[in-house]
Amino acid sequence: MVKSFNFALMRKKFLKNLGLLLFLNLLVKPFWILGIDRQVQNVVGPEEYGLYFTIFNFSFLFYIFLDLGITNFNNRNIAQNNQLLNKHLPGITMLKLILGFVYGIIIFLVGFLIGYRGEHLYLLAWVGFNQFILSLILYIRSNLSGLLLFKTDSFLSVLDRLLMIFICGFLLWFNFFDGMFTIHWFVYAQTAAYLITLIIALIALLRKSGSLQFNWNYPFFILIIKKSLPFALLVLLMSFYNRIDPVLIERLLPETIGEKQSGIYAQAFRLLDAGQNFAYLFAVLLLPLFSKMIKHNESTEKLVKLSFSIIISGVLIIAITSQFYADDLMNLMYYPFAGETQAQFDSRINQSALIFRLLMFSFVAIASNYIFGTLLTANNNLKQLNIVAFCGLVINLTLNFILIPQYMSVGSAWASLVTQVITAIAQLFIVQKEFTFKINLRLIINLITLTIALLVCGFIINNHLDLRWEISIMIMIAFGVIVTMVLKLIHIREFIEIINYDNP
């Protein structure tokens, strides 16, 4: 009886807070991606934005030295041991400040060694500082979600983007710089938004923990680092094979071509990044819930099925629809730059559309990883996850070095797709071995049915109906949602019952 009650409680927490997270992110992040981030690239051009995109991803490769896996370790640890918050907060915060200094030295040293000079290093300094602030925000949020304060964490998850919308919107739409908006102002706006978010997040946490007093505790630092290292290695390996593509594009191709190709890749990657942000919300909620359930010997099978069914259904609808309307979406989002001929613009858009199709296929595998990877992290299967991530990195690097010189950014998209699919299959295999879940044939058949139905719908709409593409895409998405409900991949009545469930 206790077990069923606990599962019902966890399921209710997951669905209610998932709903809040999705609502807030759907309210803010599409406007950020389509209204601000896209407009910045259109204003500054593919080369300048490509340079920023490369620098950003380069700084992200070494993000692990800012964190050492502490955030994921802390989320899991606080979820299982709430009483440790006051004990760990001062020491870990001090450790994070030290790691920020180390991170700064590392990115400048490596950047200098691979040829960054002048403008590259200046931009790297600001982007690196922003990464440091972001790491502090994520650490604070890991404490809040570990305490299951999901509502507070949900609002903080969109606050930085909301602030960026106001700041950049003012600079872009009111022509504050008389047409002289540069990528630097975009980075400065990020700094301001992150600092304000950090202050608000810290205030929210201190209301739960009391005062924050920094202290130098060397044995404590070593203890936390030792416990976090498996998480650190995992984040490092995954960061490399998820974020190294634009860096390799920019480095392996001639300078001007490399920056332009990185910008073209960024055009396609923008919507995948948006999708990943939404998929990541599942991991944010599931890690503390899985951790608590595993600690109390609760079965996670039903929660895994529920979350997997929701996320994969939605991702399949988006990914398959994208295959039919990739060119239309790229044409909608971008326009010719000054001095760019129509033929050059068409070539750029066609290339971005092809990359977008490939990346959206990889989105299905990425979404799967957010469920199964989170479950394995909560279960402390870090050795297996690190082996999978290392193999993924080797595959990604090998394919990129082979494909980029010949196929440029399109080759990198193929490398990403192959890597994500292989790692997703590997994680699924490990989960089945560790948890021995029953193979859910009905779920598999329903997902295949959904895929076939979407492909048939897309073919009919695009070959037999004379409709504007904007109407066609809405019809296809609506059709996909209806099919998921008919197949009970998304069960509305069950959702309502869960939300209305009262704790005894």
Residuewise pLDDT in 10s, the chain (504 residues)? 344 445 566 666 666 666 666 677 777 777 777 778 878 878 887 778 878 888 888 888 788 788 777 777 777 777 777 766 767 777 788 888 888 999 999 999 999 898 888 888 999 999 999 999 999 998 888 888 777 777 788 888 889 888 988 888 888 777 665 557 788 888 999 999 999 999 999 888 888 766 666 666 667 777 777 777 777 777 777 767 677 788 888 888 887 788 788 888 888 888 887 788 777 777 777 877 788 788 778 888 888 888 888 889 989 999 999 999 999 999 888 878 767 788 888 888 999 999 999 999 999 999 998 889 889 888 888 889 889 988 998 999 999 999 999 999 999 999 999 999 999 999 999 998 888 888 888 889 999 999 999 999 999 998 888 888 889 999 999 999 999 989 888 766 655 544 454 443
CA distances to 40, 50, 175, 339, 388 from 180, in Å: 12, 18, 9, 17, 46
pLDDT of residue 15: 64
Residue 256: CB atoms within 10 A of its CB come to: 10
**SS3 for 336?**
coil
pTM, whole model, 2 decimals?
0.71
Integer angstrom CA distances of residue 46 from 52, 338, 392: 10, 11, 29
What pLDDT score was predicted for residue 214?
62
CB burial of 307-320 (b: ≥16 within 10 Å; e: otherwise) equals: bbbbbbbbbbbbbb
